[in-house]
Structure 1
Amino acid sequence: MLLKTKLSVNPLIGLLAVMAVLVTNAPIAFADDALFTSVTDLSAPVADGAREPSLSTMIDGRVLMSWTEPQGQGFAVKVAIFDGSGWSKPQTVVERDDLFVNWADFPSAIALADGTLVAHWLQINGDASYQYDVRIARSDDEGKTWSKSFVPHDDRSQREHGFVTLLPTQSDDFMAIWLDGRNYDIYASQEIEENAMQLRARSITGNWEMSDDALIDARTCTCCQTSAVVADNGDIVAVYRDRSLEEIRDISIVRYTPQGWSAPTPVSPDGWHIEGCPVNGPAIDADDGQTVVAWFTAANDVPKVKVAFSSDDGVTFGKAFEIDNGAPSGRVDVIQQAKGSALVTWVEQTAQGEVVLICAVDPKAGCEHPRVVAVSSVGRTVGFPRMALGEQGVFIAWTEPSQEATTHPEGGTTIRTILARTGEVK
């Protein structure tokens, strides 16, 4: 079932009634116990072939979306801002025929405290499949014009550099965190400790002054997303999928203080032994003294989506909750709400196709009532659904199949966005 109809107020409730039989073993809630007070389908300002949306919150509560879509013989990275009444006219960040376009490693855009927009994208730097650089540019006029781009990593080798997190810090400063392949040779022995992707970061000011290209972890998983947040105490806290010499690939956490980056520590050891990268990174958020991390694991060949909370700015975490419905693909995102619970999205597999689920996870009770956001019965994936908390409510965006085939013989893609209100919206 392809969800192509424009939804009216509270469409999720009607969708739940249709979808209750599609997702088994989950206590799906209905109108008498609704997670959202209203849900509005927003018409995304995208062209056929649009994909891989990313969302972030601006300092004034507006929401910034970035995405990739076909343009001429190549692709363009675009941005738009939701101002309370609708999406703005899309603005082009970059248009090239050598952009690296990938369903899991995709561009993003953020707004700094002074209103400056900063965007990153990936640009091919070699002939092999995974040889590309990170590039970053800024805009002082809400995306109408963009500065000359620069590469944040010192390494210029024809290796993989990606899975970037851009994080606003203070004033017009931001932190860039990425996976760096300068020491990783996919054709060399994987038993050599130094032959691995690295986690690196550097802080960047509005004048493009950069700190050192800092090594945070010399051995990480190859192709999982990174995530970071500024905790209430001012520390930058980042999570990512680590990689031991024994090929245990669990979620680690690091923090940046005035003394520098801490050593990695596990969020909640799963013991997931896997020889290759699962392409499934964690997500972190913080608010009102509480930090939450969501992630996917398949330790002991049992796929799970887990969530853990911390009441000390991510220094220690309580026991992790298992919140999935039995057949998760992961691809999580998370928003920590002001009153304690966290909204978590993830993807599950059903006989009817991919399903995007959401749950308000309580720090004490876990996930009691998962709800269906969307379902796609077509082969193309919904990708990595993203969320952002804006002034109007919770924004959710994902890739879905379109009925047009101008860009793909087997059918196109488009981006779906919804705005949901809950009782806990700030």
Structure 2
Amino acid sequence: MSKRPTPEDIARRAGRLGGKAGLLGLLMAALLLWPPHSGAAQAGAKLVAQIEEIAVPAPPGAHEPSLALHKGAVYMSWLAPAGERTRVMMAILSAEGWSAPRVVHEGTDLFVNWADFPGIAILDDGTIAVHWLARSGPSYFDYRVEIALSRDDGMSWVPPLIPHGDRSPGQHGFVSMQPTGAGGLAVIWLDAREEASAVPAMQLRATTLTGDGALGEDVAVDLQTCSCCQTSLAATGTGTILAAYRDRTDGEIRDISVARWTAEGWQAPVPVHADGWLIDGCPVNGPAIGADGHRAVVAWFTGAEGVAAVKLAFSEDGGRSFGAPVRVDGGDDGGVGGGDPVGRVDVALLGDGSALVSWVAWRAEGEDLMLCRVEPGAGCSAPAVLATNRAGASVNFPRMVRRGRDVFIAWTQPDGTGDRIEMRRVRLTQRD
């Protein structure tokens, strides 16, 4: 029997399988199956009523999709090659189908990476915000954040803004954007402005942006965080924004924290749970957060005590504190579907108080994209394998949005000639 990978093995392998811009070798042919095996299909019947493949308007070679939802329409951004240049693209899926794809930005200076990629958000008035990363210095990790706005469904874009006041070379990325519910946009990112100081540390910083392009103050949320894990934002609907991210202590403990933004500004972060993951390096594996009123949920990957696990915790007080976490990947039975969890999570709260979580797991046959409903105080009650990837490269970070019973999920699918974007509409089983 082969040795199960440790969390550190998973972190190293994730970098090899998921890299872009010189980090990937040749890709092998891909085979996407539904259902991948009868056990997964039988378990998935509890969760999934229907799965529909959604053809996307992205060309071959497109990768790193991000999703947003606004008034029932699904908005998607992605990256696409254009000769020697790279394009940031977007399109809108409404009841009439997809819009024509729009070019948001094109250039030769984009930072193209499997883990730090563009994102999209829609302000309350319909203004579209898309961010991407542009190189700012000689080092591979010298790059800045740029955000463009469109007020006409992506037909035209204002010149991009840089949300961070710091203009020094170094990493500025892993961005999350979230409408505030008051006509603005909250923006957070990881910021390396102090990496060259006497006490080097990556920071989590934040600002606000209006539909008119007015930037708020660039403020620090946390002065020491993990350096390359994705961040996540959610709005409670009561004027509060929640930010989830991987924190970092002086002793190299890298667990998940949540900070709250209110009318008074950013409050001190609180730990979601003391996993105690001691790892001397970034696992490139950030959390995901969802919120609705006083309820919130955070999903994350941890490798504490040498055990790879996907966990989830609920909050009933608007993100001020979180209950005991539950493990959703199957635990000691080898994982749901027999795989080893690698993380790369996304999460959405459901109307009945449960949460839907997605993650990636490895098994001998390939890489599984998993979905599960999680009840408060319980574990994964309805697992399903959405797809199995048999290519030599990874699906990277699948992204998910929910519209009622329908969940839209998109990911980068490796192909023998490059990448392509896959999307599914998953209709969840009706709950009593």
TM-score normalised according to structure 2 size:
0.88
1:82 to 71, 78, 93: 93
| 1:62 and 1:391 in contact (8 A); partners too | no
Say yes or no: does 1:50 pair with 2:62.
yes
2:146 to 112, 135, 146: 135
Q: Which residue number corresponds to residue 270 of structure 2?
A: 265
1:30 is paired with a residue whose SS is: helix
| 2:309 and 2:341 in contact (8 A); partners too | yes
Q: Which residue number corresponds to residue 106 of structure 2?
A: 95
Task: Identify unmatched segments of 5+ residues in structure 2.
Answer: 1-28
Deviates more, 1:378-387 or 1:388-397: 388-397
Amino acid at match of 1:400: Q
Say yes or no: does 1:38 pair with 2:50.
yes
User: Aligned-pair distance for 1:72?
Assistant: 2.0
User: Aligned-pair distance for 1:390?
Assistant: 2.7
User: Aligned-pair distance for 1:121?
Assistant: 0.4
Amino acid at match of 1:265: V
User: Aligned-pair distance for 1:148?
Assistant: 0.4
Map residues 387-398 of structure 1 onto 2, 5 A cutoff: 387-390=400-403, 393-398=406-411
Q: Which residue number corresponds to residue 71 of structure 1?
A: 82
Q: Which residue number corresponds to residue 110 of structure 1?
A: 121
2:48 is paired with a residue whose SS is: coil
Q: Which residue number corresponds to residue 19 of structure 1?
A: 37
| 1:29 and 1:369 in contact (8 A); partners too | no
| 1:42 and 1:86 in contact (8 A); partners too | no
Say yes or no: does 1:201 pair with 2:213.
no
User: Aligned-pair distance for 1:68?
Assistant: 0.4
Q: Which residue number corresponds to residue 347 of structure 2?
A: 334
Change (3 A) 1:29 1:319: farther
Q: Which residue number corresponds to residue 311 of structure 2?
A: 306
User: Aligned-pair distance for 1:315?
Assistant: 1.2
User: Aligned-pair distance for 1:252?
Assistant: 0.6
1:415 to 410, 421, 429: 421
| 2:181 and 2:237 in contact (8 A); partners too | no
| 2:175 and 2:189 in contact (8 A); partners too | yes
Map residues 2-401 of structure 1 onto 2, 5 A cutoff: 2-4=30-32, 15-16=34-35, 18-20=36-38, 28=40, 30=42, 33-58=45-70, 60-185=71-196, 194-287=199-292, 289-325=294-330, 326=335, 327-390=340-403, 393-401=406-414
- Deviations for 1:330-384, whole angstroms, at most 9, x for unmatched residues? 0000010111111100000111111110001111322023110111111111010
- Deviations for 1:180-207, whole angstroms, at most 9, x for unmatched residues? 011114xx8xxx6x31110000111222
User: Aligned-pair distance for 1:392?
Assistant: 7.1
| 2:46 and 2:382 in contact (8 A); partners too | no
| RMSD, aligned α-carbons | 1.8
Measured in 2, the distance between the counterparts of 1:385 and 1:36 equals 18
Measured in 2, the distance between the counterparts of 1:224 and 1:113 equals 28
Higher relative contact order (CA 8 A, sep 6+): 2
Measured in 1, the distance between the counterparts of 2:414 and 2:211 equals 39
1:270 is paired with a residue whose SS is: coil
Measured in 2, the distance between the counterparts of 1:32 and 1:163 equals 32
Q: Which residue number corresponds to residue 8 of structure 1?
A: none
Amino acid at match of 2:52: T
2:251 is paired with a residue whose SS is: coil
| 1:397 and 1:417 in contact (8 A); partners too | yes
Amino acid at match of 2:108: D
| 1:310 and 1:316 in contact (8 A); partners too | yes
| 1:39 and 1:420 in contact (8 A); partners too | yes
TM-score normalised according to structure 1 size:
0.89
Amino acid at match of 2:296: T
| 1:173 and 1:204 in contact (8 A); partners too | yes
Measured in 2, the distance between the counterparts of 1:39 and 1:376 equals 17
| 2:75 and 2:92 in contact (8 A); partners too | yes
| 2:77 and 2:119 in contact (8 A); partners too | yes
Amino acid at match of 2:172: H
| 2:31 and 2:390 in contact (8 A); partners too | no
User: Aligned-pair distance for 1:3?
Assistant: 3.9
| 2:185 and 2:210 in contact (8 A); partners too | yes
Aligned residues: 395
Tell me the percent identity.
Answer: 46
